[in-house]
Structure 1
Amino acid sequence: MTEAAAHLPDDADAVRAALIEWYQADHREYPWRQTDDAYEILVSEVMSQQTQLDRVVDAWEAFLDEWPTAGKLAAADRADVVGFWTDHSLGYNNRAKYLHEAAGQVVAEYDGTFPETPTELQELMGVGPYTANAVASFAFNNGDAVVDTNVKRVLYRTLDVPDEDDTFAAVASELMADDESRVWNNAIMELGGVACGKQPRCDESGCPWRAWCHAYEVGDFTAPDVPTQPDFEGSRRQMRGRVISTLREFDALSLDELGPRVRVDYAPDGEYGREWLRGLLSDLEDDGLVETEADSEETLARLRT
C-alpha cells in the first residue's frame, strides 16, 4: 500500500460521493463557476491570487466587459490593463502585465485557442502549476487534483495527512474522483473555504466528511500554518499602484513631482523620500511597467508603453 493510500478510509468511494453531493446541493455562486471559457477562468484565477473572492466579482465582470476575449485583451494597450488593475485595488500589477502577455501568446502562438493540459498552459506567461491546473480543471475537466491552502487544511484535519507537500499532493490525487477534476476541485476547495476554514463550521455547514474526520472525532482542529495577507493600506503594493495611477495622468514626472502624489508625507530626504521612491520605481521597472531616465539634474519616471 502506498503512503497516500494509507491515509484514505476504506470506503473512499463514499467519501468522494458525499463531497460531490454536498457541493452540488449548495455552493457559493461565483460567476466564473458558471462558465467553461478558458479565458474567463484564467482571468478569475489571476485576479483571485491573494485577493478575497467576494472582492473579485465586480472586477472580473468589469474586466470582461472591457476585454471580453483573449484577442481583445491582446490588442489592448498594456498601460490601460495595468491601470484597470490599479483602479480596482487588485494589487501586484505585474499580474496584469503577465495576463496581457499571456493573451498575446494565445493569439500569436495558439491561433486564439487555449491549450488544454496543465503542462501546455504553463507555457503561458505568468501561469504557474496551480493556475494551469485550475484552468485545465475548470475549463476542460482535464486537470490534476488542486492542492491549495484550503485543500491542505481539509486533508490535514480530516485524514490526518502530515504537513508535507508531496504527501498532500499524493493523497489529493488518490482521493480525486476519476475524470471529474472540474466538480471535484471546486468541491474540495469549497469545503475548505466554507466548512473547514481557520475556524471550522462543521455542523453549521453540514460538512459531508464529519463521519470520516479525525479532527471532528478528537476535537483537535489545529492545521498547518496559513500565511496571512499583509495589510493593503500603506503597503508597498498600494504605493506601487499609486505610482502607476499617477503616471497614467502625466507624460513624465520628476521624483519630487511624483512623490507627493504618491504619499502626502513625501519629503525628498525623509523616510518616504527619493530613495524610498526609487525603490518603488525599481520594482516597477523590473516588472516592465515603468521606465526612468536620469540626467545630471533629475530623474524622470514614465509608464513604459
Structure 2
Amino acid sequence: MSDADAAAGEQYLPEDADAVRDALVAWYEADHRDFPWRRTDDPYEILVSEVMSQQTQLSRVVTAWEAFLERWPTTAELAAADRADVVGFWSDHSLGYNNRAKYLHEAAGQVEDDYGGEFPDSPDELSELMGVGPYTANAVASFAFDNGNAVVDTNVKRVLYRAFDVPDDDAAFERVAAELMPEGESRVWNNAIMELGGVACEKSPACDGAECPWREWCHAYGTGDFTAPDVPTQPDFEGSRRQMRGRVVNVLGEHGELELDRLGPRVRVDYAPDGEYGREWLAGLLSDLDDDGLVAFDREAGVASLAR
C-alpha cells in the first residue's frame, strides 16, 4: 500500500489504533463461533468452505462441508470424480448455483495438473484457479497460509462504516481495512473482523449483548445512528430459479435423457407445455445449464441429459 493510501486510511481511525486492533483480536480469541474450517489450515478444506458459504447460511454449510470432504477428501480425489456426481451432491445439499460445483471440480484439476497437487499460497496465484475470485482467493491465502490482504466483504464494510464513519465507497473501505490490519496477521485478523460483523454488528446490532470490543471508539454506538450501506439480501430459495436448476440436474441424474414434456412435470408440479412455466420457460432454464456445462440440451429435438 502506498504512503498516500495509508494516509487516506489513517484519517478515519482513532489515534490509538493499536488499542483498537488489540481489543478486537483479544475479543475474538476469547470466544468465537466454532466452525470446523476455522480449525484447519488445509487450503483445499478452506476453499471448499468458502465456495459453499457463498449465499448459503453457515448453519447449512457445516453438514455439507463435512460430507463433501468425507467423500472427496483431497484435490486428487475430487479431480478424479465424475463431475455429474459433484454437481449432484451440490444440488442435493441446496448449496446454490450448481456451476460453483463445476468450478470447484475444475479448480481441483488445476491444482493437480498445474501445481503438482500443492496449492499456490498468494491471492494473485489463487485467483488463477477456476471460479476463484479476488475475495475467495484472499480468504484462502489468509486462512490457509496467513498470507492474505485485508478481507473486505459486506460485513466488514458495515463494521467500518458504523465504527469509524468510513464513507460508503469501496476504495475507502479497502484503504481503511488495509491500514487497520496488523502486518502479517491476516489469518486471525480477517477471522476476527468478519466475526465482529457476523455476531455483534449485524444489520440489527448487538453491541452490548455481544460485548463488542469497539464500543468505546464506535461512531454509531456513540451517536445512536446505526444506519449502514444497503446489503443485498439473498432471495428466497423456495421456488427460485436456482432451486429449479437443481431439480433439473437431480431429475436428469435419476432418469437420464428426457423430453421436455416428461422433464417439466418432474421439475414443477404446475408445469403446462404452453403455460407460463411451460416449454419456453424450461428451454431457457436448460439453455443456461447447457452454457454452464452441466446439461446437454438439444433444443431442436427437445431433449436434455446431464453433460458428461
Which band: TM-score by shorter chain?
over 0.9
2:140 aligned residue: 135
Say yes or no: does 1:304 pair with 2:299.
no
Amino acid at match of 2:69: L
Identity %: 75
- Superposed CA RMSD in Å reads 0.7
Task: Choose the corresponding residue for 2:24, options 19, 22, 39.
Answer: 19
Task: Choose the corresponding residue for 1:149, options 154, 161, 169.
Answer: 154
Amino acid at match of 1:203: D
Query: SS at the partner of 1:174?
Result: helix
1:263 aligned residue: 268
Say yes or no: does 1:212 pair with 2:182.
no
Deviating beyond 6 angstroms after TM superposition, the runs of 4 or more aligned structure 1 residues are none
Query: Retained in 1: the 8 A contact 2:163–2:217?
Result: yes
Give unmatched runs, 5+ long, in structure 2.
none
Task: Choose the corresponding residue for 2:102, options 97, 100, 114.
Answer: 97
Give unmatched runs, 5+ long, in structure 1.
none
1:268-279 paired onto structure 2 within 5 Å:
268-279=273-284
Amino acid at match of 1:49: Q
Task: Choose the corresponding residue for 1:123, options 113, 120, 128.
Answer: 128
**In 2, Cα distance between the equivalents of 1:91 and 1:144?**
27
**In 2, Cα distance between the equivalents of 1:173 and 1:27?**
23
2:201 aligned residue: 196
1:63 aligned residue: 68
1:80 aligned residue: 85
**In 2, Cα distance between the equivalents of 1:79 and 1:187?**
37
**In 1, Cα distance between the equivalents of 2:256 and 2:10?**
61
Query: SS at the partner of 1:134?
Result: helix
TM-score scaled by structure 1?
0.98
**In 2, Cα distance between the equivalents of 1:273 and 1:193?**
41
Q: Summarize deviations over 1:25-47 as a string: whole Å, max 9, x none.
A: 00000000000000000000000
Give 1:292 deviation, angstroms: 1.3
2:185 aligned residue: 180
Say yes or no: does 1:35 pair with 2:46.
no
